Amino acid sequence: MRKTWLLYCLQLLLRMNFVSLKQSNKPNFVLIMVDDMGIGDLGCYGNKTLRTPNIDQLAQEGVKLTHHIAAASLCTPSRAAFLTGRYPIRSGLASHGMTGVFIFNAASGGLPQEEVTFANIVKRQGYETALIGKWHLGLNCKNSTDHCHHPSTHGFKYFFGIPLTNLRDCSPNNGTVFMIHKFLPYRTLAVILASALALHFSGLLRLHRKFTLTLLTLLLMFAAAILLFIQIVPYLNCVLMKDHRIIEQPYRSENLTQAMTRDAVTFMERNAERPFLLFFSLLQVHTAMFASAAFRGTSQHGIYGDAVHEVDWSVGQITQTLTRLQLAGNTLVYLTSDQGAHLEEISASGEVHRGWNGIYKGGKSTNWEGGIRVPGIVRWPGTIAGGREVDEPTSNMDLFPTVVRLSGAALPEDREIDGRDMMDLLQGNVERSDHEFLFHYCNAFLNAVRWKPRNSSSVWKAFYFTPNFHPEDGTSCAHTHVCFCTPHFVTFHSPPLLFDLSRDPSEKTPLTPATQPNFHSILAVMQEAAERHQRSVKPVESQLSAANIMWRPLLQPCCSTFSQLCQCQSWTDS
């Protein structure tokens, strides 16, 4: 009996050692996503006026992707594509209306539970998984605590961050994210009222007193409702959570990057002996702009530049921790932005808070290169040779198959995966990207197609429609604060606008049959690819429909009673 027990213990010990050895061979993943940072904001991508030494060093030690594309130009769909490796139209995270992201915590839409993220898969492979920072893919379905869209539902065992996004309402004196004054016809109403009163007192128009009082009362009630709404939005949307618990509402953003960086360091220290995946999703440099005291005033580009400096510091803390823990050689580090810089971003006082997209046209919310061509840096010492640039088309969707296969798992076979494993390209085993075509959606509408023929160095891009820029600005949608995709806000092109990005990366001069002899045949190939792609898209429920993005009181996360305006300040970042 004793020999049997000893034999059992020996077998168990050997099995544990085998599992430990097997796990130690699995690489760690640190995936860093900055919010709304332009490709031109980094020194390694050509910026001469902002200091980003830590990110620049990351690029020197790894591979810099210079043709890296976000699958969408807005936060919610871009992040859905990143996590699932699929175009957001496939998961219902592509809107048919004007609003292309979630704007309330108390909305019922979100990343469907049927979708599989890389966190779901690596968790089953024995990884510790964490999301620290911004989520923006939904929270609740039927009540305020069901958390059906919470990061934990999608494979993240630990969550510290915000379920929505960093709104201008979350910082004092920044105005409202809804920019109501941009859409309400104040001047028109004022002219109508003034004209009516002038006609009334001149005797040409008789206004009954009861009608006049009723109209004024309704206008005052409407104005009061808007003011009340603006006042309570911070209490509804500015929520900081740890796992499933609200720890601050409304949150104070100033030192959040510091706190989240410390938490990321702690997570890596805690899991240094086992494989882990950390998705570090920074709140900066999205509106409302903020920077901690140590970084305010450090740049010549105002609070936006200060925030970029803080992001670079944070990246440095992450990489230094990996070195200190002797994990750098076994960790794939990836850094990107979810889309291009928001060119229309200004403060309530009119201060410009825009980033820089380098030579590329347009910005966030457009499929011009400035809206979707983003930084892409991958470092893995000893596995990926450093100091290289790759100019082949790659996508943020490519992280899904890359991470899944490196974790030892197989890709799901029951769904379309649009990303492509990048390892051969990153290691220099192949020279060409697996992406012959990439499709660019403006919300749920197919907006443009990118094609790099197998036997050519050209990269063709065709636009079916383009946003109507502000007539005086000519480079952004300053009149609506963000570019929209619905017919009233765009211009359709027949034939499509065609560019050769290999010769005209700034998209300055559309090609014509006179300047490109193969104009019609190129467009025909791209149209055929677009139709083939669209046939592969199965109808699903829109998670960004009007019903799924509207505010619902029963879904409102609240750390206190509504009578206390959902306030709690129990957490400290000290």
Tokens of residue 180, six digits: 């109501």
Q: Which two tokens stand for residue 51?
A: 């200091």
Q: What residues have CB less than 8 Å from 37, skipping those under 6 apart? A: 285, 308, 311, 337, 341, 355, 374, 375
Q: How far is CA 33 from CA 5, 17, 79, 339, in A?
A: 51, 35, 9, 10
- Residue pair 348/177 in contact (Cβ under 8 Å)? The answer is no
The answer to whether residue 75 is catalytic is yes
136 is annotated as an active-site residue: yes
Strands 376-379 and 63-65: antiparallel
CA 250 to CA 169: how far, in whole Å?
10
Apex 48 CA angle, 45 and 54, nearest 5: 60
Give yes or no for a cis peptide into 341 (omega within 30° of 0): no
Q: Which two tokens stand for residue 558?
A: 């609240």
Pick from 372, 358, 364: nearest CA to 285:
364
Q: State how far the Cα of 342 lies from the Cα of 285, in Å rounded to an integer.
A: 10
Give dist(CA 90, CA 395) in Å, integer. Answer: 16
Three-state SS for 70?
coil
Query: Which one from 67, 68, 136, 440 is the annotated catalytic residue?
Result: 136
**Which one, of 29, 27, 35, 81, lies nearest residue 278 by Cα?**
29
Among 75, 442, 483, 558, which one carries the catalytic annotation?
75
Task: Give the residue numbers marked as catalytic.
Answer: 75, 136
